[in-house]
Chain A
Amino acid sequence: MTVESETSVLSAQGLCKEYGKGAALVRAVQAVTLEVERGELVAVVGPSGCGKSTLLHLLGGLERPTAGSVRLGGSALERMPEAQQARIRRRDLGFVFQAFHLVDELTALENVELPALLAGASPRGARARASELLAQVGLADRASHLPSALSGGQQQRVAIARALANEPLLVLADEPTGNLDSSATTELLRLFEQLHARGQTVVVVTHDERIAATADRLISMRDGAFVDETKLAGGTARPLSAMAGLEA
């Protein structure tokens, strides 16, 4: 039983998720324990089908675990009725999805202000905050564009702005670069570094090594269980130029 530190934002203990019964039983997540400190960027990597997305859904209260507990900012998420979870979600969580999940008929600005509106903010306040956030992600000039007029990378940036709308404790990102090409991924990397620098706590699930490389901690997942944890700190043994082929 790990001791919760005061700076711990997310604490998951023994999370399990099973589907089906008997011969068709699938253990998507097995006995996962995770502790995320404030300001940390944690990356969970693994091959597709290893249960990363399911884990993220469990952490965000989008699915109920078969066993185990999830505490977000001190509240035990898994025991709450969905209405209460919804309130916590709108206050403390931001989601970023692989498929962006923007509303097609709303402009970028209207998409970003949606969480604030759902939380009961005034329309004016929501709109002001949305403008601010879009400026932060560098899309101020695209505020009145529809998602269909935005590139994949731009759409995902709008999605990140939306995730930050209510100043969440934690941002959960599920394969944020899954649908993006290389240059769009670079745009997103920049954004992730910025978020990290600002102290936003992020848990990102990915199989893209580049995103994983921005993390403080890297956790490997295989067949529903954590198998390895790496702390990415310090520098490399070889200088960069050697890796480029300019050997000294």
Chain B
Amino acid sequence: MGQVVQLEKIEPLQGYKLRIVQEVVLALLAKQASHGYQLQARLALALGPLGGALNAGHIYVTLGRLEKADLVRARRVDQAGRPDRKVYELTAAGRERVHEWLSDTSWPKPAPAEFHLKLVAAAAAGLADPVRLIDKQRGELLVGLREAQRAALAEPAGSVAGLLLEGVVLRLQADLRWLEECARYWNAAKG
């Protein structure tokens, strides 16, 4: 309440960048406390075919990290005839974090800089033909677009995961457009 909490940035696991999963798990717990497997189910629903990257292990590891950071707390629930399961719920700090994340408008970083610099360097050093690099990348993106598109079409109408796939498709489309512009530039620069 009115207190600005300076939250420490949780370091993602080494070699494993799942920062957003942490935020999502927190947010999913905001309404009510849930079991780990329930969280996983909801994530799977939201990610559709892309949800294969996340399995139960990831969820529990994430939950562990969040518990260590005092953003969630775990409770044991006794169930007759079954082994005890943990139920996770948000702490006040966790709730603050969720609000902060939801109202944060910084868009995930777009990434043309790397490829752009790649082309400039290749041209400057005479190591490779930029146009060839572009063509190769373009082919790669097109195949990706194809897959994403097929996946999107396979989703039933009104599926929320379909929305995610549409987003992938459109992003790839934008990237391809930019590559087209690059090709035009570097072609002219060549001749």
Q: Is A214 an interface residue, CB under 8 A from the partner?
A: yes
Q: How large is the interface on B (under 10, 10 to 19, 20 to 34, 35 or more residues)?
A: 35 or more
Distance in angstroms between the alpha carbons of A218 and B139 in the assembled complex? 9
Number of interface residues of A (CB under 8 A): 30
B7-22 CB contact bits vs A (8 Å, 1 = yes)? 0000000001110100
| Complex contact B140–A237 (CB within 8 A) | yes
Stretch at the interface among A9-17, A28-36, A154-162, A205-213: A205-213
| Complex contact A47–B184 (CB within 8 A) | yes
Stretch at the interface among A19-27, A72-80, A97-105, A186-194: A186-194
| Complex contact A243–B143 (CB within 8 A) | no
Nearest CB of B to A42, in Å: 14
Q: Which of A209-248 contact B (CB under 8 A)?
A: 209-210, 212-214, 218, 222, 228, 230, 232, 234-241, 243-248
A105-141 CB contact bits vs B (8 Å, 1 = yes)? 0000000000000000000000000000000000000
Q: Is B99 an interface residue, CB under 8 A from the partner?
A: no
Of the candidates B49, B52, B139, which one forms a contact with A232 in the assembled complex, judged by CB atoms under 8 Å apart? B139
| Complex contact B47–A210 (CB within 8 A) | no
| Complex contact A214–B149 (CB within 8 A) | yes
| Complex contact A247–B17 (CB within 8 A) | yes
Distance in angstroms between the alpha carbons of A182 and B51 in the assembled complex? 25
| Complex contact B173–A209 (CB within 8 A) | yes
Q: Which of A180-201 contact B (CB under 8 A)?
A: 182, 186, 189-190, 193
| Complex contact B153–A189 (CB within 8 A) | yes
Nearest CB of B to A244, in Å: 5
Q: Is B85 an interface residue, CB under 8 A from the partner?
A: no
Contacts A189-B149, A240-B151, A243-B148 known; A209 to B142 CB distance under 8 Å? Answer: yes
| Complex contact B164–A244 (CB within 8 A) | yes
| Complex contact A246–B50 (CB within 8 A) | yes
Contacts A189-B153, A209-B145, A247-B17 known; A241 to B53 CB distance under 8 Å? Answer: yes
Q: Is B98 an interface residue, CB under 8 A from the partner?
A: no
> Which residue of chain B has its CB nearest to the CB of A228?
B135
B147-191 CB contact bits vs A (8 Å, 1 = yes)? 111111100000000001111111111001100100010010000
B32-55 CB contact bits vs A (8 Å, 1 = yes)? 000000000000000101111110
Distance in angstroms between the alpha carbons of A214 and B170 in the assembled complex? 15
Of the candidates B16, B20, B108, B173, which one forms a contact with A210 in the assembled complex, judged by CB atoms under 8 Å apart? B173
Contacts A228-B135, A236-B140 known; A246 to B53 CB distance under 8 Å? Answer: yes
Distance in angstroms between the alpha carbons of A186 and B166 in the assembled complex? 10
Residues of chain B lying within 8 A (CB to CB) of residue A238: 144
Q: Which A residues contact B (CB, under 8 angstroms)?
A: 47, 182, 186, 189-190, 193, 209-210, 212-214, 218, 222, 228, 230, 232, 234-241, 243-248
Q: Which 7 residue pairs are nearest across A and B when measured between Cβ atoms? A: A241-B50, A213-B145, A213-B146, A241-B53, A209-B176, A236-B144, A230-B139
